[in-house]
Structure 1
Amino acid sequence: MTPHIVVLGSTNMDLVAYVERAPRRGETVTGRAFRTFPGGKGANQAVAAARAGATVSMIGAVGTDGFGGRLRAALEHSGVDTDLLRTVEGASGTAHIVVDDEGGNAIVVVPGANAALTGLTHGDEALITCADLLLLQLETPLDGVLAAARYARDHGVRTVLTPAPAQSLPPELLDAVDLLVANEHEAAALTGATDPRTAAHKLLDQVPDVVVTLGAEGCLYATRGAEPVTVPAPRVTAVDTTGAGDTFVGALAAALGEGRPLPSALAWASSAAALSVGRPGAAASMPYRTEIDAEAEARA
């Protein structure tokens, strides 16, 4: 059965400059290229999950500027349902990204229309009720994220949270989350522990399942009552790591929605992320299911 995933989150236009190295404070460097890509953590995860084979619906907001229509069209082109994607007066969200020659990036996000996502409509609630899984991030107001998590918990819908950008989270939000997927920096920010295993152990006090992504080293999976497990990542040459984490989460959601055990789902999602870092852009780099299956099979 094809899982139905609902994503509540941001939609941004990514404005990407490619440079040999990122500028230091007060420094100007010359870039070699500039491109625009539809993005935003919410939209990225929605596209990744749809390309990975899930039925996906997006709850979010775009502006009335020129970017708004492009963002909506990009989601629809990837098969994401946008019936509940609001259009609000003003600018759409933007992300200003510098990508260096090693594939690393630095990002400034300007929320724009995403700031309007402060709560749920009746339509949003009905959509979440019918979902197999809800994906959440933190690029939209915390009030809306908390409302969605609580509603999903009260209606038995599995909830996955990416705590990015990292910030202090209220206990009532973590209490409503089934799986937390954080990178090393986010896990450290939430717990004060720089060691991923220590951070994961602390997070298990509030969340039943935790994944800490480790970049090229793969990810660490921890669940209550068991020893943490490291799932290695495929070795690849990175072109652009923008959106790799969202690719991982979207593919993971699709796999979990199909009923795969978490360790198997993590390995499959790692194959998706490995494919994405070999291509430029965020949503533009995300692989389709047939590509992920082929990559996972090749590395099995």
Structure 2
Amino acid sequence: MTDNIQVTIVGSSNVDITALMNRLPGPGETVLADSYQLSPGGKGANQALAAQLAGARTEFIGAVGEDSHAKIALGQLEEAGVKLDRVSTSRQPTGVAIIQVDSGAENSIAVVSGANSTVTAEVVNAAGTLHGIVVLQGEIPASGIKTAMDLATDKVVLNLAPVIELDRDYLLKANPLVVNEHEAALILQQLDGSETMSTEAEPVIAEKLMAHGLASLVITLGANGCLVVEQGTEMQQLSAVKVKALDTTGAGDAFTGAVAARLAHGDTLAQAADFAGKFAALTVQAHGAQASYPRSLDAL
């Protein structure tokens, strides 16, 4: 039974441990923090929540540990109705991001992949058929990404963040590839086999990526909106919604999840990206990642 799943996210889930302090410690120094908080994160889980809240029946496939953090990592997804039946339990601990934030919003982050490192080809293959549009990121092993692409029967949305080494043939299976400007330049460097990263303007990088044979591409540009291009069509630059941003954590994941949701509903890529930009704009007006995602689409 597929439960009419429209979007399947294969990816990472974390617990973010955030310590708030006046200043960041130097090497070997101890600084007393003012407070800390535990919150769900991980690019895969963030995107799954966004896709569900953006109106698509969504499944998340990943891994958590046999620990108390697992419930935190999956809590908001469960609450929103994301299907979690095929999340595996690993002997590795649930992934954790250890974040220090000072009074000026400067931060330092250490990520422990934990159970996310077990989402390999074997685990993804054991999950079986992947339903609907499949969304992938760079926070699980490359073997898991490639197997998910092989099992996909619909479009594959690839948000290769962070940028990891991926075979050319698999990079070109993305439809669309959704990345920011820095990630786009790194992926072009991979495809070109170059020793240096391009510093050319984003439209030029987009044209060069498409020349390698990508079916479609979205490059997010923060406050400058995004570039959208498909084979055989002219490039479009979509404007961003002008808002006062308080916290951009998880905004890119919100965008990617919303793009997948709208593609599942039959939108064109430009229509999906336009919707996703408005969806992501709502998230930056509140603190946190998943906690900032809109529970109602009335404001869109």
- Which whole-Å deviations, capped at 9, do the CAs of 1:96-120 have from their partners, x for residues lacking one? 2345667676543210001111024
Aligned to 1:178: 175
Measure the CA separation in 1 of the matches of 2:272 and 2:182: 23
1:124 aligns to 2:127 (yes or no): yes
TM-fit CA distance, 1:55: 0.6
TM-fit CA distance, 1:277: 0.8
User: Alpha carbons of 1:210 and 1:122: their partners in 2 closer, same or farther (altered >3 Å)?
Assistant: closer
- Which whole-Å deviations, capped at 9, do the CAs of 1:234-281 have from their partners, x for residues lacking one? 111111111000001111111111001121211111111111111111
Aligned to 2:159: 162
Aligned to 1:139: 139
Partner-residue secondary structure (3-state), 1:288? coil
Identity of aligned residues (%): 40
Measure the CA separation in 2 of the matches of 1:278 and 1:32: 23
User: 8 Å contact 2:17–2:37 — kept in the other structure?
Assistant: yes
| Residues 1-300 of structure 1 mapped to structure 2, 5 A cutoff | 4-18=6-20, 32-99=34-101, 107-119=109-121, 120=123, 124-126=127-129, 128=130, 131-152=131-152, 155=153, 157-191=154-188, 192-194=197-199, 195-204=201-210, 205-291=212-298, 294=299, 296=300
User: 8 Å contact 2:124–2:147 — kept in the other structure?
Assistant: no
User: Alpha carbons of 1:123 and 1:232: their partners in 2 closer, same or farther (altered >3 Å)?
Assistant: same
Partner letter of residue 197 of structure 1?
A: P
What residue ranges of structure 1 are gaps of 5+ in the alignment? none
Measure the CA separation in 1 of the matches of 2:236 and 2:258: 19
TM-fit CA distance, 1:7: 0.4
CA RMSD in angstroms comes to 2.3
Query: Normalization by structure 2: what TM-score?
Result: 0.87
User: 8 Å contact 1:3–1:257 — kept in the other structure?
Assistant: no
Partner-residue secondary structure (3-state), 2:144? helix
What residue ranges of structure 2 are gaps of 5+ in the alignment? 189-196
Paired residues, number = 286
User: Alpha carbons of 1:10 and 1:252: their partners in 2 closer, same or farther (altered >3 Å)?
Assistant: same
Relative to structure 2, which stretch is displaced further, 100-109 or 187-196? 100-109
TM-fit CA distance, 1:124: 2.4
Query: Normalization by structure 1: what TM-score?
Result: 0.87
User: Alpha carbons of 1:236 and 1:30: their partners in 2 closer, same or farther (altered >3 Å)?
Assistant: farther
Measure the CA separation in 2 of the matches of 1:67 and 1:203: 39
Relative to structure 2, which stretch is displaced further, 203-212 or 19-28? 19-28
User: Alpha carbons of 1:97 and 1:207: their partners in 2 closer, same or farther (altered >3 Å)?
Assistant: farther
TM-fit CA distance, 1:216: 1.1
Measure the CA separation in 1 of the matches of 2:30 and 2:202: 35
